[in-house]
A and B are shown apart, each in its own frame.
Chain A
Amino acid sequence: MKPTKVSENEYFHQVVDCQWGCPAHTDVPEYIRLIAQGEFSDAYMLNRASNIFPGILGRVCDRPCEPACRRGRVEEKPVAICRLKRVASDNRDDITSRLPKAPEKKNGKRIALIGAGCASLSVANDLMPLGYDCTIFEGLEKPGGLMRTNIPSFRLPEKVLDEEMNYIIDMGVDLRLGTRIDSFKELMKEGYDAIFVGTGAPKGKDLKIPGRYDSDNIHIGIEWLESVAFDHIDKIGKKVLIIGVGNTAMDCCRTSLRLGASDVKVMARKPRDFFKASDWELEDAEEEKVEIVVNHSPKEFVIKNGVLKGMIFEKMQYETDEKGKITNTEVVGEEFFPCDDVVLAIGQDNAFPWIERDLGLDFDQWDVPIVDENTFQSTLPGVFFGGDSAFGPKNIIWAVEHGHQAAISIHKYCHDEPLDERLPRGVNLSSAKMGIHEWSYSNDFDASSRRLMPSVDLKERFSNLDIEVELGFTVDQVVTEVERCLNCDLQTVFFPDLCIECDACIDICPVDCLTITPNEGQEAIEKNLTTPRLDQDQLLFVSEPLKQTGRAMIKDENLCVHCGLCAERCPTAAWDMQKSNLDVPYAIDEMNNGKANCQSKRKAG
């Protein structure tokens, strides 16, 4: 095999699984260490540098980092990354003085942002400090997008939402609430230097089966949640059926329970393995005694004398292959479920009736705008999309990352720079050695299992729609959970010229991920590994030939717990533990031409 070039393909970034998994590349291990040291404000600011909303995301992030987390491969459960983010937020001091500010002297460029959701706010966050004039047009009377209208306040308190949005708006964003844009053409006439479309995917999917339009008790999930959020709806019947089993369905069923429902069933067409909802959202709903009924496909609404009586479902039976893929579907019967209300939570679509189709802004065959995946520019130069409006419904953290990238593009566009010549991400390394056997991080492996989130008592939580269910970790829980992080950013860096092939590292490695073997091609190498390769998607490091025998040092990154023992037992320091620091460029770095663009510098604010 070709010797691995760790300077290429963001090798060390890939090793930090959580950061690699996070769309915004949040420096997770560093913020966890800051929490461990009690530096909550620093941890908050470090988070904010990449994900902008630590308090919000510390509660409701979709957490792509957690399934990626190395800890989940070494034992049962990943580090509670998201919960720890909330710890940083809950315990921070007043950090307002450390927030970015808009300069007094503006740069004369005016940007229009449509929709006050997380995508637009993210763009404004990055452009305001550069001197741009940002105007956000929002159709509703309050900013926040789905974070306000759809994510229920028992998961995300309004106070947290307002506080973090205001950090951005207070830089001097011209926020025009109650101002829906009805014609893109008209907006273009106002002469903005660039336009960002952050209008989300606002259309809830409908279920056109018999009886659909014959009752007022059939609701579209995201519209219904919005009405609840704005106090237009404050009750629901006793028996409620939720159709669909994604995250929206979970919010709908739990909200129903708080508006007076006592018997809530979530109706799923397929078996559990096919659910779209995150595991933790399912767990939370089931804890609240929501029943999830599988293999039932909606057939018709039963309405008598204009009153919704229930629904008829087809009972489904599936055959699957050994990979779990459905190979055959069969209807094996029908079943009636009585109910007072039905909430449809089967998905969302983009909808752009307000964008004229003769502007040079092209849409594809599904009526979705054509947007470049790196620059976020549409086919109309100067018009950018991000968040759910760009590629369909995703989540907050993706919307934030789209915002960062769109901000870079807008900056370049306004300065006549080519949009695709962007600063690359980079990795800086520095040795973590503090003494012969001392490292600058807590390298011992802590075998504790994942801490469980304490929550408000079941009875109490239903008494009011706004009671936040999760209480946040206790001090003891924090102290334990931070030690579960394996410090994946403390990289094992190998210097082949120093290796005397004494095998010390191989013998000590607690997970047997090191091997010295002749480099006779991938197959031979894999056959000789100390531990068989369990995950082909994880990196395999292959060193340059070693001096004494010409063999190669191999490291299977999969299970390394970054304990540093290989480096400690190496007599020649051929292994060193080095702290890697990912350099993620933002719009401000493009403005500074890449000078001083380092996340760790940013944590100072």
Chain B
Amino acid sequence: MSYISKPKIDHGGLRKNKLGLTIQDYEGGMSTLCAGCGHDSITAAICQAFFELDIPPHRVAKLSGIGCSSKTPAYFLGQSHGFNSVHGRMPSVATGTSAANRQINVIGVSGDGDSLSIGLGQFAHAMRRNINMTYLIENNGVYGLTKGQFSASADIGSKLKKGELNEQPPIDPVQMALSQGATFVARGFSGDKKQLVPLLKAAIKHNGFGLIDILSPCVTFNDHEDSTKSYAHTREFFHPAVHLDYIPPAKEIKTAYDQGEAMPIEMHDGSRVVLRKLDKGYNFENRGQALDYVRAKHRDGEIVTGLLYIDESEPDMHTINATSDTPLSELEFKRLCPGSSALKEIQKRFI
């Protein structure tokens, strides 16, 4: 925590996006997290992604559960909407938000504790419903906020600061999402914004549930030598399998890609993402093979990163449930509430 907040300094050299806003307009309150926490870097990457996508902050709803990670929505997009819910319950609030307003960008920030223990059921159902949202798990292998107990993502053999050994197998959100049928599955690292920012942009633009599992070291409780979620360990075993370029609408794809090595995908708003294989053994067109690959690499101790699977064709919750295009708050009262006579008609059915 710092006593002074980050000053807003207009030195005339700040870049502006299409809305005439600077990155400062995408920042939030001063972080109260520990100095060096990976979560803060993710916060910065989120600011950058929304800034570069020219999305007005007030067109975003940010939602979270409980944890250090879940505190971070307070630190980005100060001018947006937010709801800090209860532990593991962010997906329900996100579902409601999305249902009520189809046009708003929904971003949920969660932790490995928040999503893989108490909130595991909610997490699974959000994927199943293919809610149109960006879902981040800021994964540090511990419950940071409650002082560093192992979470469900801790690897076998990883030790806590004081030496306790974890012997239970981890839940890998990426493998879970692949098998669960999630339509956008990615993994990143807080220490690599070059990779993370395009992942975020693609997830935000994805029509459906966009999961990014982001390794995000807890400097205070899980950055020591025997940790498998430290900066050093992550860097050593970091394995980018797929490279991603995000190309905004109406911009030409200049680079020529080899067939089979690269895959351009058109997003619903006309922007494109181009996936490029960094590991020849990877097949991003097949969910089953992707899962096999991630699982095998995981066995070898490697941390597979990149946009690992994407399917733009699956219908999202709005399509399946034929939700209103107009946000509910903008609908006439008459349309929102059919009135007491309609209620009576319905009730008759049950008598």
Residues on A lying within 8 angstroms of B by beta carbon are 73-75, 437-438, 443-445, 447, 500-504, 506-508, 510-512, 531-532, 534, 548-549, 559, 561, 563, 565, 568-572
CB neighbours of B231 from chain A (8 A): 500-502, 548
Q: Is B235 an interface residue (CB 8 A)?
A: yes
**In whole angstroms, what is the CA distance A258 to B237 when docked?**
80
Q: A447-B8, A502-B41, A510-B8 are in contact. List 15 more A-B contacts (CB 8 A).
A: A73-B11, A74-B9, A75-B11, A444-B7, A501-B235, A502-B190, A502-B191, A502-B219, A504-B40, A507-B44, A510-B6, A531-B15, A534-B13, A569-B35, A570-B36
CB neighbours of B235 from chain A (8 A): 501, 548-549
**In whole angstroms, what is the CA distance A512 to B190 when docked?**
18
9 intermolecular pairs with C-beta atoms under 8 Å apart: A74-B11, A502-B190, A504-B35, A507-B41, A507-B44, A508-B40, A548-B231, A561-B9, A571-B35
**In whole angstroms, what is the CA distance A104 to B345 when docked?**
114
Q: Does the CB pair A502–B36 fall under 8 Å?
A: yes
Q: Does the CB pair A437–B2 fall under 8 Å?
A: yes
**In whole angstroms, what is the CA distance A572 to B232 when docked?**
14
CB neighbours of B13 from chain A (8 A): 531-532, 534, 559
Q: Does the CB pair B9–A445 fall under 8 Å?
A: yes
Q: Is B331 an interface residue (CB 8 A)?
A: no
Q: Does the CB pair A75–B2 fall under 8 Å?
A: no
A565/B9 contact (C-beta < 8 A), A504-B35, A507-B40, A571-B219 known: no
A511/B11 contact (C-beta < 8 A), A548-B231, A565-B4 known: yes
In the complex formed, the residue of B with least CB distance to A73 is B11
| SS class, residues of chain B in contact with chain A | loop
In the complex formed, the residue of B with least CB distance to A532 is B13
Most central of A74, A447, A568, A571 by chain B CB within 10 Å: A571
Q: Does the CB pair A503–B4 fall under 8 Å?
A: no
Instruction: Report B49 CB to chain A, min CB distance, Å.
Output: 14
CB neighbours of B7 from chain A (8 A): 444-445, 447, 510, 561, 563
Instruction: Report A478 CB to chain B, min CB distance, Å.
Output: 22
Q: Is B1 an interface residue (CB 8 A)?
A: yes
**In whole angstroms, what is the CA distance A513 to B37 when docked?**
20
In the complex formed, the residue of B with least CB distance to A501 is B191
Q: Is B128 an interface residue (CB 8 A)?
A: no
**B202-231, CB under 8 A of A: which get 1 and which 0?**
000000000000000101100100000001
Q: Does the CB pair B9–A569 fall under 8 Å?
A: no
In the complex formed, the residue of A with least CB distance to B24 is A510
CB neighbours of B8 from chain A (8 A): 447, 510
**In whole angstroms, what is the CA distance A421 to B169 when docked?**
71
Q: Does the CB pair B35–A570 fall under 8 Å?
A: yes
**In whole angstroms, what is the CA distance A508 to B232 when docked?**
22
CB neighbours of B220 from chain A (8 A): 571
**In whole angstroms, what is the CA distance A503 to B37 when docked?**
9
Chain B residues touching A, range = 20 to 34
Q: Is B34 an interface residue (CB 8 A)?
A: yes
CB neighbours of B40 from chain A (8 A): 503-504, 507-508, 569
Q: Does the CB pair B43–A500 fall under 8 Å?
A: no
Most central of A504, A559, A563, A568 by chain B CB within 10 Å: A504
In the complex formed, the residue of A with least CB distance to B223 is A500
CB neighbours of A561 from chain B (8 A): 7, 9
In the complex formed, the residue of A with least CB distance to B232 is A548
In the complex formed, the residue of B with least CB distance to A516 is B191
CB neighbours of A503 from chain B (8 A): 40-41, 44, 190-191, 193
A504/B1 contact (C-beta < 8 A), A510-B8, A510-B9, A532-B13 known: no
CB neighbours of A501 from chain B (8 A): 191, 231, 235
Q: Is B3 an interface residue (CB 8 A)?
A: yes
Within 8 A of A (CB), among B43-76: 43-44
Q: Does the CB pair A437–B3 fall under 8 Å?
A: yes
In the complex formed, the residue of A with least CB distance to B5 is A444
**In whole angstroms, what is the CA distance A322 to B13 when docked?**
22
Instruction: Report B217 CB to chain A, min CB distance, Å.
Output: 7
Instruction: Report B233 CB to chain A, min CB distance, Å.
Output: 10
**In whole angstroms, what is the CA distance A510 to B223 when docked?**
26
Q: Does the CB pair B6–A508 fall under 8 Å?
A: yes
Instruction: Report A523 CB to chain B, min CB distance, Å.
Output: 18
**In whole angstroms, what is the CA distance A504 to B75 when docked?**
14
Instruction: Report B329 CB to chain A, min CB distance, Å.
Output: 34
**In whole angstroms, what is the CA distance A75 to B11 when docked?**
5
**In whole angstroms, what is the CA distance A549 to B191 when docked?**
11
Contact of B10 among A75, A500, A502 (CB under 8 A): A75
Q: Does the CB pair A568–B232 fall under 8 Å?
A: no
Q: Does the CB pair B36–A571 fall under 8 Å?
A: yes
**In whole angstroms, what is the CA distance A532 to B193 when docked?**
18
**In whole angstroms, what is the CA distance A570 to B3 when docked?**
15
**B1-38, CB under 8 A of A: which get 1 and which 0?**
11110111111011100000001000000000011111
Instruction: Report A490 CB to chain B, min CB distance, Å.
Output: 14
